[in-house]
Amino acid sequence: MLFKQQALLRQKLFVLGSLAIGSLLYLVARVGSLDRLQPICPIESRLGPPHLPEQIPLRTLQYKRGLLHELRKGNATKEQIRLHNLVQQLPRAIIIGVRKGGTRALLEMLNLHPAVVKASQEIHFFDNDQNYARGIDWYREKMPFSFPHQITIEKSPAYFITEEVPERIFKMNSSIKLLIIVREPTTRAVSDYTQVLEGKERKNKTYHKFEKLAIDGNTCEVNTKYKAVRTSIYTKHLERWLKYFPVEQFHIVDGDRLITDPLPELQLVERFLNLPSRISHYNLYFNATRGFYCLRFNIVFNKCLAGSKGRIHPEVDPSVVAKLRKFFHPFNQKFYQITGRTFNWP
């Protein structure tokens, strides 16, 4: 009887020992395989773009645009906000300028991307002392609701030329991405003048001709005190921004090309923002009546920019145009050198 019990005990110990050794060998092999795999495929490389994790696929974000639209109209309930984990985020990218360079068109086109949410209005937080004094929470509350891993973008073109703005944005986020859209400087200045002229005419007010504003009557030289001219000296403003941000945090968009062939420019911005390429030819179609591209979000929803876009410019004395282009030329060359992007400006 005792012999049988001892034999049974030895048998149980053998089975348990075999299981323990097998488990130990499995763990050793598993750890070894993980060690071998880690340098080949680090976890960071499997995560994809930083703002678009697996749990919120881009297709899902596209389907939920309707909810965000309701939020913008103020129709969504607090329960919907809580249920969908929606938040108001500070922008991770800002279109800082340039006025009449195409900032509205750029913002609307980027909003085609399912991972981008735009602030519909110009907030003027950093360039307006009264707004800035209200604090960062006030600024955040002006942002649209979004899913946590979407990118919020706002645009206020006055930021580019306002002295206090670079430091203020730096204090909010020193690693923010900054977009600057530019056009040929003389064309941009005339466009700037045209917008102001239209506003004066609506109020039945008179306004000087462009030539009289752009050229100093006493010296016959370019009038750098005229704001439309001063804004087009891009390099002067950019140098102030570079005191706070490295050039790698800026992306320069060709505003002239955005009008005639927008997709390549938008794809460059997608890359700069570390977004997967999602905007395609399907999303952009040329409207011959308006003379520029309109946006197609899906089969149902299309959108064209406001009729005020693409105003007809007044005719400007060719000698004044030539004088302005000659004046801007050295500043343009320096702008190309700093940004690493060259334009075919005369």
Q: Is 30 annotated as a binding residue?
A: no
On whether 293 is known to bind a ligand per the annotation, the reply is yes
**Which of 12, 73, 100, 236 does the annotation list as catalytic?**
100
Asked if residue 100 belongs to a known ligand binding site, the reply is yes
Q: Is 311 annotated as a binding residue?
A: yes
Q: Is 45 annotated as a binding residue?
A: no
Sign of CA dihedral 117, 120, 109, 112: positive
100 a catalytic residue: yes
84 is in an annotated binding site: no
Q: What is the token pair recorded at 95?
A: 């279109």
CA–CA separation, 79 vs 102, rounded Å? 38
313 is in an annotated binding site: yes
Residue 101 assigned to a binding site: yes
3-state secondary structure the chain: CHHHHHHHHHHHHHHHHHHHHHHHHHHHHHHHHHHHHCCCCCHHHHCCCCCCCCCCCHHHHHHCHHHHHHHHHCCCCHHHHHHCCCEECCCCEEEEECCCCCHHHHHHHHCCCCCEEECCCCCCCCCCHHHHCCCHHHHHHCCCEECCCCEEEEECHHHHHCCCHHHHHHHHCCCCEEEEEECCHHHHHHHHHHHHHHHHHHCCCCCCCHHHHHECCCCCCECCCCHHHHHCCHHHHHHHHCCCCCHHHEEEEEHHHHHHCHHHHHHHHHHHCCCCCCCCHHHEEEECCCCEEEEECCCCCEECCCCCCCCCCCCCCHHHHHHHHHHHHHHHHHHHHHHCCCCCCC
Residue 102 is assigned to a ligand binding site:
yes
The response to whether 309 counts as a known ligand-binding position is yes
Establish whether 22 is an annotated binding residue: no
Cβ pair 261, 292 in contact under 8 A: no
Is residue 48 a known part of a binding site? no
> Is 140 annotated among the ligand-binding residues?
no
Give the annotated binding-site residues: 100-104, 183, 191, 293, 309-313
Q: Mark the binding-site residues for 3'-phosphoadenylyl sulfate, compressed into ranges.
A: 100-104, 183, 191, 293, 309-313
Q: Which residues are catalytic?
A: 100
